[in-house]
Amino acid sequence: MDFDFQWFLGLFPIVLPALKLTVSIAIISLFLTLCLSIVIAFIRYYKVKFLYQISGLFITFFRATPLVAQLFILYFGLPSIFPFLESMSAFQATIIALTLNTSSFMAEDLRGSLESIDNGQNEACYSMGMTKYQTMKRVILPQAFIFALPSIGNRFIGIIKGTALGFTVGLADIMAISKMEAALSLRFFEAYFCVTIIYLVLVIIVERILKYIEKRVEKVS
Residues 6 or more apart whose CB falls under 8 angstroms from that of 14 comprise 177, 181
Residue 1, pLDDT > 70, answer no
Predicted local distance difference test score (pLDDT) of residue 133: 76
Rounded mean pLDDT of 162-191? 89
Residue 132, pLDDT > 80, answer no
Measuring CA to CA, how many Å separate 115 from each of 45, 105, 141, 144? 7, 16, 11, 8
Predicted local distance difference test score (pLDDT) of residue 115: 86
Predicted local distance difference test score (pLDDT) of residue 137: 78
**What residue segments make up the domains of the chain, in order of their start?**
5-220
Q: Which of 164, 168, 152 is nearest to 25 (CA)?
A: 164
Residue 220, pLDDT > 70, answer no
The SS3 call for residue 194 is helix
Residue 207, pLDDT > 70, answer yes
Predicted local distance difference test score (pLDDT) of residue 203: 94
How far is C-alpha 129 from the geometric centre of its chain's CA atoms?
A: 38
Query: What is the spatial distance between Cα 101 and Cα 19, in angstroms, rounded to a whole number?
Result: 22
Query: What is the spatial distance between Cα 147 and Cα 142, in angstroms, rounded to a whole number?
Result: 9
213 — pLDDT class (breaks 50, 70, 90): confident
Rounded mean pLDDT of 155-166? 92
Decide: 175 and 166 in contact? Cβ < 8 Å.
yes
Decide: 82 and 152 in contact? Cβ < 8 Å.
no
In the chain, the percentage of residues whose pLDDT exceeds 70 is 99
Query: How many C-beta atoms surround the C-beta of residue 71 within 10 A?
Result: 25
Query: What is the spatial distance between Cα 129 and Cα 11, in angstroms, rounded to a whole number?
Result: 63
Q: What's the pLDDT tens digit per position in 54-112?
A: 999 999 999 999 999 999 999 999 998 998 888 999 999 999 999 999 999 999 999 98
Query: Is the entire prediction scored with pTM above 0.85?
Result: yes
Cα torsion angle, 95, 171, 159, 206, sign: negative
The SS3 call for residue 66 is coil
CATH architecture observed for domain 5-220: Orthogonal Bundle (1.10)
Residue 114, pLDDT > 90, answer no
Predicted local distance difference test score (pLDDT) of residue 3: 83
Predicted local distance difference test score (pLDDT) of residue 221: 60
